[in-house]
Amino acid sequence: MSLDLTAAPPSAPATADDGVWLACIECGETFAPFSAIRYTCDHCDGLLEVRYADPPTFEDFEGRGVWRYAAALPFEEGVSLPEGDTPLHHVPRLEADVGVDRLRIKHEGMNPTGSFKDRGMTVGVRVAKELGVGRLACASTGNTSAALAAYGARGGMGTLVLLPAGKVAAGKIAQAALHDARILEVDGNFDDCLDIVQDLAARGEVYLLNSLNPFRLEGQKTIGLEILEEFRQDHGTYPDRIVLPVGNAGNTSALYKCFRELVQSGALDPEDVPKLTGVQAEGAAPMVEAIEEGNDEIRRWPDVETIATAIRIGNPVNAPKALPGIRETGGTAVAVPDEEITDAQRALAAEGVGVEPASATSIAGLRRLRDRGVVDDDEQVVCLTTGHLLKDPDAAFAAGNDPEPVPNDTEAVLAHIAE
Ligand SMILES: Cc1ncc(COP(=O)(O)O)c(C=O)c1O
Ligand SMILES: N[C@@H](CCOP(=O)(O)O)C(=O)O
């Protein structure tokens, strides 16, 4: 099954429901979208994609937020908080410092629960309602669990989240707790948690809402749609490159799908598709390894470690969708050390943009690629920042200034700040 950028638009199979169906990206088998619960292909276990008889054009979009893009989604509306419409920040000092023609920051930390996951959950929980499932579940490094708990609560559904014990930032656990998720702390890493939750889903115990679920990625496509529309409106052109953190590789896959569908409908020239450029932490970089070595498959990293706990992932399940996305768009992937992630977090904060460590990898990666001459100085670049600063208060304290104790006295305060 081809994930080529310029593959011909698919024609609707008999399994299509109102012009929507699921297709296996490996063997091409198709399935009715809502007749049964499935996450992978019944025949070859390949990843599934949602397909549409009528891929969208920009003229089809109206309204605000994720649901402005209903013409690119399987429903007209979802379980919403609402989400999307995130800012595209200008960061002039950082732009000059990195040395590119134009740099914009798409700050997905400004979604309702503070990360891009909300875009996927508004669609995913809507689908869960359509399927009539009971309990929703996910494995998580934190943000997916926060979003699932909030959207599950909004939809009136119970949620179960499996987290790697001791490796999830405080803000994210607090969100899952308050939104009434049942929280299981597993003595293992994120990939182990995902193995277990997949087993639970296969046994019919839960409905899985990680990005293995193809409907989650439909919502996350809207990041790409917003970037293209807003960048073109502001600058009359599309960005040359989108740089993003990579964990389970859902966003890379979703952005590539967004571009492919626009190319299929004729709304976007293949020449105008931004180069997808993935960034991982050096301690958790299986996608970078595959890109650098030219492999079509990922080698699972059993031991992963990084300050960017959100992307502490050794087995990105969406790699079969994301690797073609990086290659077909002419992009690349790069790994960055933790110190450079923290430096980038500070640099964004110095422009007023507060992000969690994983988000800052996009800037750290862009810097590295500029230093290596892979990114040119005349490029127009959008960096995706995926989660809010408050998600990980410990990392923010470690990277930022220490509070200074002072006496309860104006003269003493004046003397202190004069030092
Ligand atoms: C803040 C943050 N950034 C980046 C990622 C990586 O995104 P993806 O899994 O879509 O590659 C995640 C989770 O995976 C995340 O929580
Ligand atoms: N960073 C993620 C990891 C899981 O990713 P998903 O997109 O597959 O749900 C998280 O926040 O848990």
Please write the tens of the pLDDT for every residue from 92-101.
999 999 999 9
Together in a domain, 294 and 153? no
pLDDT of residue 9: 85
Claim to verify: residue 376 and residue 245 sit in the same structural domain: yes
- What is the domain extent for residue 313? 88-114+218-399
Share of the chain above pLDDT 70, in %: 100
In a domain, 230, yes or no: yes
Which residue has the CA at smallest separation from atom 5 of ligand 1?
A: 247
Q: Is residue 7 part of a domain?
A: no
252-266 burial code (b ≥16 CB/10 A, e <16): bbbbbbbbbbbbbbe
Residue 303's identity, in one-letter code, is D
Among residues 189, 216, 243, the one where a domain terminates is 216
> Angle of helix 250-265 relative to helix 319-328, nearest 10 degrees?
60
Residue 2 binned pLDDT confidence (cut-offs 50, 70, 90):
confident
Q: Whose CA is nearest to atom 1 of ligand 2?
A: 310
Q: How far is the CA of 143 from the centre of ligand 1 (A)?
A: 8
Which phi-psi region, left, alpha or beta, contains residue 142 (left: φ > 0; alpha: ψ -120 to 50)?
Answer: left
Residue ending a domain, choose from 159, 183, 216: 216
Ligand 2 center to 173 CA (angstroms): 14
Number of independent structural domains in the chain = 2
Close Cβ partners of 308 (under 8 Å, ≥ 6 residues apart)? 245, 281, 284, 338, 341, 356, 357, 358, 360, 361
Residues 252, 134: Cα–Cα separation, whole Å: 30
State whether 123 and 170 are in the same domain.
yes
Give tens-digit pLDDT for 37-79: 999 999 999 999 999 999 999 999 999 999 999 999 999 999 9
CA 81: distance to chain centroid? 18
Return d(Cα 289, Cα 84) in angstroms, integer.
32
Q: Are residues 314 and 359 in the same domain?
A: yes
Residue 218 pLDDT = 98
CATH for 285: 3.40.50.1100
- Pocket around ligand 1 at a 6 A CB cut-off: 115, 141, 143, 211, 245-252, 310-311, 356, 358-359, 386-387
CA neighbours closer than 13 Å in the CB half-sphere of residue 168: 29
Do 165 and 196 lie in a common domain? yes
Residues 18, 201, 186, 218, Cα dihedral to 10°: -10
Q: Beta-carbon neighbour count of residue 375 at 10 Å?
A: 25
Measured in angstroms, how far is the CA atom of residue 405 from the centroid of ligand 2? 38
Q: Which of 150, 183, 216 is at the close of a domain?
A: 216
Task: Tell whether the model's pLDDT for residue 10 goes beyond 90.
Answer: no
Ligand 1 center–CA 309 separation, angstroms: 10
> So what's the pLDDT on residue 177?
98
Ligand 2 pocket residue status of 175, Cβ below 6 Å: no
Task: Evaluate if residue 1 carries a pLDDT over 70.
Answer: no
Residue type for position 5: L
The mean per-residue pLDDT over the stretch 327-333 comes to: 98
Question: Per the domain annotation, does 71 fall within a domain?
Answer: no
Is the per-residue pLDDT at 273 higher than 70? yes
Residue nearest to atom 12 of ligand 1 (CA): 310
Residue 137 lies in a domain: yes
The CB of 164 under 6 Å from ligand 2? The reply is no
Give mean pLDDT, residues 3-19: 93
Cβ atoms of 49 and 23 within 8 Å: the answer is: yes
Residue with CA nearest ligand 1 atom 6? 247
Residue to probe by mutation, ligand 2, list 136, 211, 218, most atoms within 8 Å of CB? 211
Query: How is the beta sheet containing 88-90 ordered, strand by strand?
Result: 88-90, 102-107, 380-385, 241-245, 275-281, 332-336
Identify whether residues 394 and 332 lie together within a single domain. Answer: yes
Whole-prediction pTM value? Answer: 0.98
153 and 202 co-located in one domain: yes
Q: Are 309 and 276 in contact (CB under 8 A)?
A: no
Inside any domain, residue 278: yes
> Closest ligand to 212 CA?
2
| CA 163 to chain centroid | 18
Q: Looking at the CA of residue 142, tell me the nearest atom of ligand 1.
A: 16
- Together in a domain, 233 and 182: no
Closest CA relative to residue 384, chosen from 268, 251, 280: 251
Which residues, at least 6 apart from 371, have a Cβ–Cβ distance to it below 8 Å? none
229 and 299 together in one domain = yes
**Angle CA(155)–CA(390)–CA(197) in degrees, nearest 5?**
45
Distance (Å) of CA 176 to CA 147, 189, 391, 403: 8, 18, 12, 29
Structure tokens at 133: 């499932």
Ligand 2 center from residue 246 Cα (angstroms):
10
Q: Is 144 in the pocket of ligand 2 (CB under 6 A)?
A: yes
Q: CB of 100 within 8 A of CB of 370?
A: yes
